[in-house]
Amino acid sequence: MMMTAQQYEESLRKLDLVVYMFGRRVENPVDDPILRPSMNAVAKTYEMAHQSEHENIMTATSHLNGEKINRFTHIHQSTTDLVNKTKMGRLLGGHTGCCFQRCVGMDALNALSIVTYDIDKKYDTRYNERFLKYLAHVQEKDLTCDGAMTDPKGDRSLPPHKQPDPDMFLRVVAEKDDGIVVRGAKAHQTGAVNSHEIIVMPTIAMREEDKDYAVSFALPSDAPGIAYIMGRQSCDTRKTETNPLDTGNPVFGGHEALVVFDDVFVPWERVFLYKEHEFAGPLVERFASYHRQSYACKSGVGDVLIGASQTIAEYNGVQNASHIKDKLIEMTHLNETLFCGSLACAAEGREEASGTYCVNTLLANVSKQNVTRFPYEIARLAQDIAGGLMVTLPSAEDFKSPEVGKWLEKYYQGNKDVSTENRFRILRLIENLTLGTAAVGYLTESMHGAGSPQAQRIMISRQSNTPEKQKLAKKLCGIDEK
């Protein structure tokens, strides 16, 4: 059953999450003014799946039972599925102007569908059977899953087993007849408190000495022993103010959390990797490749920023200036290049032994490497076009003030055919996308999401097949080294 947005919201209300923010327990995350916009962004993924004009992109056919499901719970069965995933990311990025948070869970599901099959093939284990049963549950309930990969890491010069504090990487601390007990934390968890499930994966390749850290499993997000500590974002408390105009994007947003696992029990049927350390690396690589493709969402947010930049140019009366036109062209060029990279790695994907289609790893990493750069230039150009007023505007309350509001209306008027309020609104949106809470999802997430820029460069080096390029060059100029 595909949930509606309202059903999704109600399902979150039934969770008993342990959430902390600003030093206090958040009793009602769904209605908290700081967290509510991030929930709205996830709800959009449910809402749009029921809209006929978006059905082909937002839904898919389950390979388990042939039923229509939300694409975020789907296992890719073709390159068409991978391409539609890219299109879905751009679509939702444009409709929310922020991170909509379900990609990481979708990417974890697909990575596990491949790696659990490969482990079983080598060791005659039953991980894939467990996984498929779990997947059926996720699809049947239309659940939002948080993919939890990033460990705190501690001293990054040391492997997990040599850390002064062994909990810097999530690990198994006890084995029981009916399951395992784990301890540790996962950092930078996008949309964690909006999720029904937490899917845990290792964060790096492992050696024999680190086998206690080579673990993957899934748990309900409100399982005993799991706690969420919310990260701060620039301008986050603006969401608590009476007037929503100062937020720039009052309806949608994102959040990040540190998720703590304080001796949490995991039943065996929810364990998908247990001490098979040599498969930690392949799981990380598969997940990272899928998730680097997922940054097509930044081209959707880029669409919003380009539209806002064109609008403020018109409101400022400079839309016909040649340098403004050229900047908008450059923004479009960069944004479409981001989209091209995600499409390319999808179109060049291939079928794995499990039957799941995976993206082209080299092109996925090239695509994400572009994402670490281009949004920053797009944002810089948007700020250039917007002008300094974007960061010196008085508050929305000042505009309403009987004492000074009349002066603000007078002196912040631009194009005479445009209201001062509309000029204020579009400037606040640009501020939100390039400096405020959305900048976490557009800029900082573009840089560090799905691994650091250096991680992508390492994968590009491994996948580049330079010896084959050397052969081509030597052949053309007549070098024979036989």
Is 256 annotated as catalytic?
A: yes
Is 445 annotated as catalytic?
A: yes
Give me the helices (H) in 348-463, please: 361-371, 374-386, 389-392, 396-400, 405-411, 420-434, 437-439, 445-448, 453-463
Is 190 annotated as catalytic?
A: yes
Write down the catalytic residue from 235, 291, 314, 442. Answer: 291
* Cα R_g (the chain), whole angstroms: 24
Write down the catalytic residue from 103, 145, 235, 345. Answer: 103
d(CA 385, CA 307): 12
SS3 165: coil
d(CA 284, CA 151): 12
In which order are the strands placed within the sheet that holds 226-230?
A: 24-25, 19-21, 226-230, 256-267, 179-190, 171-176
Write down the catalytic residue from 98, 297, 345, 358. Answer: 297
List Cβ neighbours of 190 (8 Å cut-off, separation of 6 or more): 99, 101, 104, 146, 254, 255, 256, 441, 445, 449
Whether 61 contacts 86, CB under 8 Å: no
Element (H, E) at 251: none
Is 99 annotated as catalytic?
A: yes
Q: CA–CA distance from 232 to each of 120, 147, 387, 414, 434 (Å)? A: 42, 20, 27, 34, 16
Write down the catalytic residue from 256, 276, 314, 431. Answer: 256
Whether 146 contacts 104, CB under 8 Å: yes
Write down the catalytic residue from 59, 63, 99, 277. Answer: 99
List Cβ neighbours of 335 (8 Å cut-off, separation of 6 or more): 299, 302, 303, 306, 374, 378
Is 295 annotated as catalytic?
A: yes
d(CA 224, CA 219): 10
SS3 150: coil
Write down the catalytic residue from 295, 315, 357, 442. Answer: 295
Is 53 annotated as catalytic?
A: no
Enter the DSSP assignment of 54: G
Residue with tokens 């706690």: 227
d(CA 116, CA 99): 28
Closest CA to 197 of 217, 214, 167, 176: 217
Give the bridge partners for 216, in sequence order. 273
Write down the catalytic residue from 59, 96, 190, 361. Answer: 190
- Decide the pairing of beta strands 179-190 and 171-176: antiparallel
List Cβ neighbours of 406 (8 Å cut-off, separation of 6 or more): none
Catalytic residue list: 99, 103, 190, 256, 291, 295, 297, 445
